[in-house]
Amino acid sequence: MIQQQLDIFGKVKIEDIKTEGIKYAGSKLKIIPFILQIVSELEDVVNVLDGFSGTTRVSQALAQIGFDTTANDISTWSEVFGTCYLNSKGTDKYYKEIIDYLNSLKGYDGWFTQNYGGEEAQSKKPFQAKNTRKLDAIRDEIDSMNLSWEDKCVILTSLIYALDSVDSTLGHYVAYLSDWSSRSYNDLVLKLPKRFPIISNNSVIKDDIFNTISKNKYDFVYLDPPYGSNNEKMPPSRVRYNSYYHIWTTVIQNDKPTIFGKANRREDSRDTIEGSVFEEFRKDSDGHFIAMKALGKLIKETNSHYILLSYSSGGRATKGELNDIIAESGKLLRAIEIDYKKNVMGNMRWTNEWINSDGKYHEYLFLMEKY
């Protein structure tokens, strides 16, 4: 249990856990306390997997508690965030010196300004040109500094957070605002990521979740796949996470890729390119959602004592489908309903029955024990 680990690692309290992350469609920031409460009550949990780690907020929280934490995701930017928080070992003083130097650079017109920067009189660009000029200078300089991978991840995390704070978007990069957002007028300034002492054996994996679970065994696995949308107007060719956050991939790789469309997306983020099976909106020949069949396969193949499954009421799955999926591979121990329309922190309900939908947006957590 967590309390046993807290006695070893320094009396960390759940309410004291702080995480960082960008604006993100799949963020689990508000339910982290519930996740930590659940795992804290389980016996004999040492190593845990955050299977779809995204911005890595859940991984950050689990690692701070003292679990041996693995952050897994297919995205490049998730790998960078995970490495920054779970594995980087440099001192704050060392990273601050690098950040201060990068902040002092004079900006110039480069590839990012050409494709993503707009002057004040323009619009429908993700950043104002004054900030993409700084981005061009900073990003090219980072590549010339011969940093280790871990150190580079800390600096790139700082850069992405800085860009996220001056963007002119609704939180993704497939379309941009018609008028500049108020925050876009601010200057791009890198800040030191708020890392925490590493008190456990952590790892970061950039891979498909099926590959990761086939090679490793865990005590506890947290799964938060996309699930698709229950909006029947959503076309089979849809926007994926790879498309939503294409610009972060480009900032990290600095590969100046071929781009297309009004949003200047990377060529490798086209909707026609095969993505994760969990982002699949279509049904198979038997009339079952492909993403739900994949979820059943994932749960069945996951080698773990406990699995905690997140589910949004906006997803494709029905209660019956999820119930059947869980029953095939284990026993449902608890179900939690979190009502975002009311008080997220005050409306948690524990039940062993499926919760009736009232048409509002809910987040659910399902704890199961594998057979």
- Using one digit for the tens of pLDDT, what is the confidence trace for 261-287? 999 999 998 877 756 666 666 677 676
**DSSP SS3 for 353:** coil
- Using one digit for the tens of pLDDT, what is the confidence trace for 215-233? 999 999 999 987 554 444 4
The answer to whether 85 touches 60, Cβ cutoff 8 Å, is yes
246-253 helix and 76-86 helix, angle to the nearest 10 degrees: 60
| 3-state SS string for 115-157 | HHEECCCCCCCCEEHHHHHHHHHHHHHHHCCCCCHHHHHHHHH
Here the tokens at position 336 are: 């939690």
Here the tokens at position 114 are: 């050409």
Catalogue the E-assigned strands of 51-202: 68-73, 117-118, 127-128
Cα 365 from Cα 371, distance rounded (Å): 19
Phi/psi for 61 (5° steps) reads -65, -45
pLDDT of amino acid 318:
67
pLDDT tens digit at each of 371 positions of the chain:
444 344 434 456 787 899 999 988 767 888 999 999 999 999 999 999 999 999 999 999 999 999 999 999 999 999 999 999 999 999 999 999 999 999 999 999 999 999 999 998 887 899 999 999 999 999 999 999 999 999 999 999 999 999 999 999 988 898 899 999 999 999 999 999 999 999 999 999 999 999 999 999 999 999 998 755 444 444 444 546 778 899 999 999 999 999 999 999 999 988 777 566 666 666 776 766 677 888 889 999 999 999 999 887 656 566 677 888 899 999 999 988 887 554 333 344 444 444 444 555 678 899 999 98
Domains of the chain and any CATH numbers: 2-74+209-230+278-370 (3.40.50.150), 89-194+241-274 (no CATH)
Q: State the DSSP H helix or E strand holding residue 11, giving kind and residue range, or none if neither.
A: none
Q: Of 337, 357, 361, 359, whose CA–CA distance to 347 is shortest?
A: 337
pLDDT of amino acid 27:
73
Provide the phi-psi class of 249: left if phi over 0, else alpha when psi is between -120 and 50, else beta: alpha
pLDDT of amino acid 8:
37
- What pTM did the predictor assign? 0.88
pLDDT of amino acid 302:
97
